[in-house]
Chain A
Amino acid sequence: MNVQVENHDKVLVAKVEGRVDSSNSQDFERQLQGAIGEDVKAVVIDLGQLAYISSAGLRVVLLVAKTLGQRNVSISLCALSDPVQSVFEISGFNRIIQIYDTQADALAAAG
């Protein structure tokens, strides 16, 4: 698992690669929370290179979404592979977190 961060103006794009499960979800949380600075106004999490996410990983996404929600910072996900998309659909998280097909779509909406 690896998180790479790019800044597009005040929109933070975090690209997550590999697998996120209970063995590395704490590390995932640290990397993600650590990347989000004070002056960010939107966060886009690009899951294009994410092979697998377990419920422990979903918890981190939910935690970050809740924390950002309290700060009025928008959060969205993009480029989900079919298996990852299905995890978000079954858990119902696609109903509470905005998901876009591509990073460009997510950035346009966040812009």
Chain B
Amino acid sequence: MGDRDRPDYKILVVDDEPDLERLVRQRMRRQIRKGKYGFEFAGNGVEALEVLTEKKDIDIVLSDINMPKMDGLTLLQQIPEVNSDLRSVIVSAYGDMENIRTAMNRGAFDFVTKPIDFTDLEVTIERTLRHLDEWRAALASRDKLVAIQNELDVATKIQQSILPDKFPHVDGCEVYGCMHAARNVGGDFFDVINLDAGRIGLAVADVSDKGVPAALFMMSSRTLLKGAAVGVEDPGAVLREVNDLLNETNDAAMFVTVFYGVYDPSTRELTFSNGGHNPPLVVHPDGSSEELELTGGLALGAIPGFEYGQARIRLSPGDLVVFFTDGVTEAINVSNEEFGLESLQSLFGDGRTPAAREAAEMILQAVQDFAGEAPQFDDLTCMTLRVADE
């Protein structure tokens, strides 16, 4: 109700009997006055289609069967092409089962018989409208779901589009990275940045939370990091700069954990700063391994003005550094057990460390084998740096 010009529901009555309009207006006068029903009238199927084309807000078509120009059964076939968001009720002669069957097969929702019993007609109209309301509500929630799905697809595309798929060919080392995105998320990224004097910037990061906001936050984190990495020498200073920029606009208290290191192949030195990220693993040719130290850092975006420490190690020929996100070590199997750091470490035995690509793919495969049928909740990201053998 409410709007006096617009009734709650609009009903199009199609009949070649001229007296019907007067009868309907008289018998339904109370519902018309309350603003519940509004009526339109047409004398045959052709006129009905004209009305439906012009007025898109008809909810019910109440149609006779036998009419000149276009009968009710033909009209039923034509209606969906003009308006699919309405329901049709057919008016037939009592006992005319053949036409009623045909009408129902052609999509009529219900029927009433002649002579019209207006009490019965009102019950039929109410029932039809209830059904229509439920149908429309179901459509609306389906549309909402589709919109959410589209949003999540956008997040996934943003995430995939920024990952490097070419890795630098540098004397003295090789680099590889890969990611298995969990369904419908956007959280992790890694980056390999060519710096001057043959040095390589290596970043792996994990944004808190999922979805489009996280994907956008990741996008700006990655862009800021790349910009800072090219202009600023020390990894600690790079993270400080990115952190301050991320804090300028971050009401949602999102944050990103970032490990950022600069590797110099000429000295085999890795200088790094850890911004709240799980520490990378250094694997030696004898199969032993240890985590890189934490450098007193903090996830980026949490608070401005934070000073990030840094550390430096010298790698040995054949060493493999595994950078990863917690999706790897916190992967869960069907028994709810975590993959854990020890499982990661136990993948490497005594002997030559695997090539960068082989190692990264082996790790993600091992995690997926471990998880089995358990759903993947988090992105799996793994980047590897392997120092060439002597």
Interface residues of A (CB under 8 A from B): 21-23, 25, 54-56, 58-59, 62-63, 66, 89-93, 95-96
Contact = CB atoms under 8 A, between A and B. Distances in A.
Contacts of A63: 252-253
Given A22-B210, A91-B299, 16 more contacts: A22-B185, A23-B377, A55-B206, A55-B208, A55-B299, A56-B208, A56-B209, A58-B299, A62-B253, A91-B276, A92-B296, A92-B299, A93-B276, A93-B298, A95-B298, A96-B302
Given A55-B208, A56-B209, A59-B253, A21 B302 contact: no
Q: Which of the four size classes fits the interface of chain B?
A: 20 to 34
B255 A54 contact: no
Contacts of B377: 21-23
A22 B183 CA distance: 13
B87 interface: no
Give the secondary structure class of B's interface. Answer: loop
Nearest to B277: A90
A56 B326 CA distance: 12
Query: Which DSSP category, helix, strand, loop or mixed, fits chain A's interface?
Result: helix
Nearest to B301: A62
Interface in B297-316: 297-299, 302-303
A90 B383 CA distance: 19
A111 B275 CA distance: 33
A22 B297 CA distance: 23
Contacts of B303: 96
Nearest to A52: B330
Interface string B171-209: 000000000000001010000000000000000001111
B278 A90 contact: yes
B312 to A, nearest CB: 20
Contacts of A22: 185, 209-210, 377-378
B381 to A, nearest CB: 13
Contacts of B275: 92
Interface in B305-341: 326, 330
Interface in B371-390: 377-378
A55 B298 contact: no
Contacts of B185: 22
Contacts of B297: 92
Interface in B340-380: 377-378
B279 A90 contact: yes
A25 B276 contact: no
B207 to A, nearest CB: 8
Contact of A59 (B209, B278, B279, B378): B209
